[in-house]
Amino acid sequence: MPSLHIKNARVIDPANKRDAIGDLFVQNGVIVDRLSAADKKKAKVIDGTGLVACPGLVDVHVHFREPGQTHKENIATGSHCAAAGGFTTVVCMPNTSPPASNTGTIQYINDVIKRDAVVNVHMTGCITVDMKGEALAPIGSLAKAGVVAITDDGDCVQSNELMRRACEYAKMFDLPLMDHCQDHSMTVGAVMNEGIVSTRLGLRGWPNAAEDLIVSRNAILSTYTGAHIHLQHISSRNSVDIIRRAKARGVKITAEATPHHIALTDDCIEGYDPKFKMNPPLRTKEDQDEIIAGLKDGTIDIIATDHAPHTEYEKDKEFDYAPNGILGLETALPVTLSVLMRKNRFKIAKVVDLMTRKPAELLSLSAGTLTAGAAADICLFDPDEKWTYDARAGFSKSSNSPWDGEELQGRVKTTLVKGKVVYDGKNVRKR
Catalytic residues: 306
Give the CA dihedral 30, 34, 36, 38, nearest 10 degrees. 70
| Burial of 409: CB neighbours in 10 Å, binned 0-12, 13-18, 19+ | middle
Report the SS3 class of residue 165.
helix
CB atoms within 10 A of CB 164: 16
Amino acid at 241: D
| Burial of 410: CB neighbours in 10 Å, binned 0-12, 13-18, 19+ | buried
Q: Which residue from 334, 395, 310, 410 is spatially nearest to 118, judged by alpha carbons?
A: 395
* Exposure on the CB side of residue 133, measured as CA atoms within 13 A: 15
Amino acid at 335: V
Task: Name 352's bridge partners.
Answer: none
CB atoms within 10 A of CB 27: 19
Q: In 14-159, which ranges are continuous DSSP H helix?
A: 37-42, 75-84, 103-116, 139-144
Q: What is the DSSP letter of 339?
A: I
Q: Which residue from 298, 403, 358, 396 is spatially nearest to 55, judged by alpha carbons?
A: 358
Measure the CA–CA gap between 412 and 85, rounded to whole angstroms: 6
Measure the CA–CA gap between 20 and 191, rounded to whole angstroms: 46
Which helix H or strand E contains 238, and what residues bound it? Answer: helix 237-248
Measure the CA–CA gap between 67 and 170, rounded to whole angstroms: 25
Measure the CA–CA gap between 190 and 235, rounded to whole angstroms: 15
Q: Which residue from 220, 269, 276, 264 is spatially nearest to 243, judged by alpha carbons?
A: 220
Which helix H or strand E contains 245, and what residues bound it? Answer: helix 237-248
CB 253 within 8 A of CB 183: no
Measure the CA–CA gap between 77 and 66, rounded to whole angstroms: 10
Measure the CA–CA gap between 323 and 310, rounded to whole angstroms: 8
